[in-house]
Structure 1
Amino acid sequence: MRTAESEMSADVKSRLLLLMPLLMKRRQTADMMGDFHRREAEIRRRRRKSRFRAYQQHSQRQILMCLMLKARALRCPPPKSLTHLKHCSFLKEFGPQDWFDRFRMSKDTFVYLCDHLRGRLHRPGLAPEEKVGIALWTLASHNRCPLLHMKFGVRRKVVKKCLKEVCQAVVTVLKPLYLYPPDHGVLRDKARIFKARWGFPHCVGALGTLHIPLPPRSKMDGECSLVLHAVVDGQGVLWDACAVFPGSMNNASILENSVVWELALGGRLQAAPEDAFLDEAQNYFLLGDATYPLKDWLLTPYTQDSRQSQSQAKFNLGLERARSVAEIALLRLRSRWQYLLDPPDYVFLPTLVLACCVLHNMCETHEQRFDPRWLEGVETGDSPCTFSHFCPSTPVDTRAEWVRSAVCRYFESQDNE
C-alpha cells in the first residue's frame, strides 16, 4: 500500500517538473505582453500630447494673425472721401484767406501736400489731413495758439507728436523734390535767371545764415542759437540748407564743413565750355559777405578803406544788391513759419528747420501768395545777438583775386556801354 502511494507522489512530482517550464514560459509571455501594452499606451499618450500641443500652437498662430490684421487695419488710412467728411471738417469750413492765415498755403496746395505725405503718416490715431493741419498751424504760429487745441480737440502732447511725424515725413518725401544741389543744366538756367533779376553775371546763388534761438533749458556749453546755413538762387529758392552748426561757429568754418564746399572742390560748379565767361570756362559764382573766404567760385566784397577804387566800390554795391536775395528769402522763411522765431523744444530742431526750408521751397515753387502782414514783429528781435565773425586771415588766392578783378572790370565795362 505504501509502495503504491509513493509511486503516485513520485508521478505527481515528475509531472509538476514537466509543467514548470511551460508555466515559466507562459509567465514570460504574459510579462512581454504587458510590456508591449504599456509601450503602446505610452505611444498613444505621447501622440495625444503632441496633437494637443500642435492644436495649441495653431490656435495661438490664428490669434496672433487676427491681432496683426486688426493692427494693420488700424494703421491703414480710411478712404479719402470718409476722411474728408468725418474727420477733416476744416477742409470745408475754412475760406481762402483762412487757409493762408492758418496754414500759409492754399487749399489745393494743402491737399497736394497731404497726398504726398499720406504714405508716411500711417500711425493710428488722427487722419493724415489732421496731422498735416496741426503741424502747419503750429509752424505758422509764433506763440502757442489755443485755437489749435479747440479746433482739433487734441492735447499738447499729441500736437508735438504730429509736428515731429509730419516734419520727418516732409524731409524724407519732399526734400529730394524741392531741396537738392542742381546739375550743370540747371546751373546754366539759374545763372541766367540770377543775371536777369539781380544783374550779377555767371552767378547761381548767394550764401546766407539765420540764427535760430535755442530754448533756455537746451542751452548747453554756452550756445544760445542754432545756425541755418543756406544757398539761395535768384528766385529766392534754397538749393542747399543745413542746420546743425552752433551759433558760436564762424561762417568760414561752417562753409568748409558744408555740402557746398564738397561740391565746389569736386568740380560740380564748373561751367561747360559753351557757357564761358571772361573768355574762358569759369566756375559758376556764389556770393558771400566779408565773413567768407575769397575763392574762384565764391566772391566776397573788397575791404572798405581809403585805398578802395571807384570800380571796387561799384563791385561791392552790385554784390550786396545781388546777395540781398538770400536775406529776403530767409526773411520770408521765418515770416511764413514763425515757429522758428522762438522754438520751445530742441529735441528735433534740426529736422524741423530743414522741413521748414522744404516747405518754403514748395510754397515758392507753387507761387503761393505771401502776405505782408506776416512780416509784423519779425524784422526786429527775430534772432539772438551774435558777434559778427570776420573771415580769419588766409593765404592769398591769386586765382580768386584775378577772377574778382575781372568781374570788377566787367561791371566797369558795362557802365561805360
Structure 2
Amino acid sequence: MALMADNHLLLLLHCFMKTTRRNGLQNAVEQIKSESRRRRRYRLRTYHLHSQQQVLMLMLLRERQTSQCRQKAIHSDHFQFLRKFEACNWLEIFRMSKDTFIYLCDQLRNSLNRPGLAPEEKVGIALWRLSCKNKCPLLHQKFRVGRNLVNRCLKEVCQAIITIMKPIYLHPPDCQSLKDKARIFNAHWGFPHCIGALGSFPIPLSSNSRRDGTHALVLHAVVDGQGLLWEACACYPDNMSSSTILENSALWDLAQERRFRTASKDHFLGKAPNYFLLANSSYPLKSWLLTPYSKDGQLNQREEQYNLHLERALSVAEIALLRLRARWQYLLSPFGYTTVPTLALACCVLHNMCETLEQRFDASWLEGVETMDLPVLPQSLCQTCPTDRQAESIRDAVCEYFNTQAKM
C-alpha cells in the first residue's frame, strides 16, 4: 500500500511539474509576443512622428519660400511704383512723404490686394485725386487710367482707410485719456477742463448731385488741443441747424451715455461734473458744452473776457479744418452725393495720420482756400432749446475763474 501511495505521489508531482513547465513556456511566449508588439508599436509611432516632422518642415519651407516670393513681389511693386516719381514731387502730389506713403500702403495692402492694379497704384491714384480741387489730367497720363477706374480706386481706398485706419487715428477718447486731453488743451489754448472744440464747414455739391434742395453737406467735427479730430461726420444737409445736427450726432449719444463725466475729485471748481466741449452760439448751452454769452444783451467786462477766451480756444477747430481742406482739396468741389460722406471721413483720417506723423504742411496749399466761395452756414442763435440752469451756473463759474486769473 505504501508503494502505491508513493507511485501516486510521483505521478501527481510529474503532472504538476509538466503543467508548470507548460504554463511557463506559454507565459514566456506571451511575453515575447507582447514585447514584439510593443517594439512594433514603438517603431510605427517613431516612424509617424518623423513623418509628421518631415511634412511640417516641408510646409514651413514652402511657406517661407512663398513669403519670400511675396515679399519680393511687394518690394518689386514698391520699386516699380516709386521710380515713377521724383523725391521732390511726393509732398506736392500725395501730401505726404515717401516713407509715410509706403506705411499707408502696407496697412491697406490686404484690403486692396485684388486682381488688377497694385495696391501702391490704387493708393497713389486715390491720394492724388484727393489732393486736387479740379480734374487732374496728369493723373490719367501718369497712371494711364480712365475716369471710371479713378473713381473706383478712390472709393475702394477711402473705404479701406475708414475700415483699417480710422480705429487707429480717429476715435473718441477713453476714460483714461480724457484727463490728458484736458491738460493739453489748457496748456495750448488756455481753457481749463476742456477736451475739444466743435467746428464745421460745408462741402459744396455739384449741380447734378444736389437733392431735395441740398446744396452742400456739412462736415461736423470735434478737434482736440493738438488739432486732431476725434469725432467727424459729413452726412448732414446744409439746411439743418447746428443744434439739430448736434442732437443727431454720435457726440450727443456719447454725452447721454455720460462718457465725459469726471471723477468726483476732479470736478472743476466743485461744480462741473463733466469735461467741457466748446462751441459757438448756434449750439445749445449744456453742462458739457459751453457757448459764449449772447451779445444781444449788455455784457459786462467779465462776460466779454470769457467770450474772448472761448473765441481764442475755438480757433483750434478753425485752423484744423482749414488745414484739412487745404491738404485734401477734393473737399472743395467733390463729385457725387452718396460718396461724399465716405470720402470726407477718409480725408479726416488721413489728416490725423499726417499730423500725428508730423508730415510737412506747405503754406502754398492755403492759396484760394481761405477766400473760396463756400455756402454760408446758418449761424443764428440757438433759441429753441430750453434753458439749462445747471449749465448757466457752470458757465458763470468758468467766467469767474477767468476773472480771478486776470487779477492774479
Once the two structures are superposed, residues 65-89 of structure 1 have per-residue CA deviations (whole angstroms, 9 ceiling, x without a partner) of xxxxxxxxxxx9x834334546763
Q: Helix, strand or coil: the match of 1:241?
A: strand
Residue 238 of structure 2 corresponds to 247
8 Å CA contact 1:273–1:281 kept in 2: the answer is: no
What residue number does 2:6 align with? none
Number of equivalent positions: 341
3-state SS of the aligned residue for 2:111?
coil
Aligned match of 1:304: 295
SS of aligned partner of 1:240: strand
- 1:416 aligned partner, one-letter code: K
1:223 aligns with: 214
Instruction: Name the counterpart of 1:180.
Output: 171
Matched residue type, 2:306: F
Residues 127 and 311 from structure 1, CA distance in 2 versus in 1: closer, same or farther, beyond 3 angstroms? same
The one of 188, 200, 210 aligned to 2:201: 210
Contact 1:194 1:200 in 2 (8 A): yes
Change (3 A) 1:258 1:347: closer
- Contact conserved, 1:211 with 1:384, CA < 8 A, in 2? yes
User: Does the C-alpha gap of structure 1 residues 96 and 86 become closer, same or farther in structure 2, counting only changes over 3 Å?
Assistant: closer
Q: What is the identity, as a one-letter code, of the residue corresponding to 1:154?
A: V
The structure 2 residue matched to 1:346, chosen from 323, 333, 337, is 337
- Cα gap change, 1:87 to 1:266, in 2 (>3 Å): closer
**Residue among 108, 113, 129 paired with 2:120:** 129
> 2:308 and 2:120 mapped to 1: Cα distance?
47
1: CA distance between counterparts of 2:87 and 2:336? 31
Q: What root-mean-square deviation, in Å, do the aligned CA atoms of Structure 1 and Structure 2 show?
A: 1.7
Any conservation in 2 of the 1:269–1:297 contact (CA below 8 Å)? yes
Say whether the 8 Å CA contact 2:201–2:377 is kept in structure 1: no
Secondary structure of the equivalent of 2:234?
Answer: strand
- Change in Cα spacing, 1:195 to 1:393, as seen in structure 2 (3 Å) is same
How far apart are residue 362 of structure 1 and its match? 0.6
Gaps in structure 2 of 5+ consecutive residues: 1-66
Letter in 1 for 2:327: R
Identify the residue that residue 51 of structure 2 maps to in structure 1. none
Helix, strand or coil at the partner of 1:119: helix
Shift of 1:166: 0.1
Paired with 1:135 and 1:394, the residues of 2 have a C-alpha distance of 42
The one of 262, 270, 273 aligned to 2:261:
270
State which of 230, 252, 257 in structure 1 corresponds to 2:248.
257
Amino acid corresponding to residue 171 of structure 2 in structure 1? Y
Q: 1:275 to 1:413 in 2, by over 3 A?
A: same
Q: TM-score, normalised by structure 1?
A: 0.79
- Matches of 1:142 and 1:80 in 2, distance apart? 36
In the alignment, which of 80, 83, 91 is matched to residue 92 of structure 1?
A: 83
Contact kept in structure 1, 2:204 and 2:333, CA below 8 Å: yes
- The amino acid of 1:322's aligned partner reads A
How far apart are residue 306 of structure 1 and its match? 5.1
Give percent identity, aligned residues only: 60
Task: After TM superposition, give the deviation of residue 106 of structure 1 in Å.
Answer: 0.7
The verdict on how the C-alpha distance between 1:399 and 1:151 changes in structure 2, with shifts beyond 3 A counting, is same
Contact 2:134 2:330 in 1 (8 A): yes
Partner of 1:61: none
2:321 and 2:169 map into 1 onto residues whose CA distance is: 16
What residue number does 1:18 align with? Answer: none
- CA offset at residue 275 of structure 1? 2.6
Q: Which residue of 2 aligns with 1:46?
A: none
Gaps of 5+ in 1: 1-75
8 Å contact 1:341–1:382 — kept in the other structure?
no
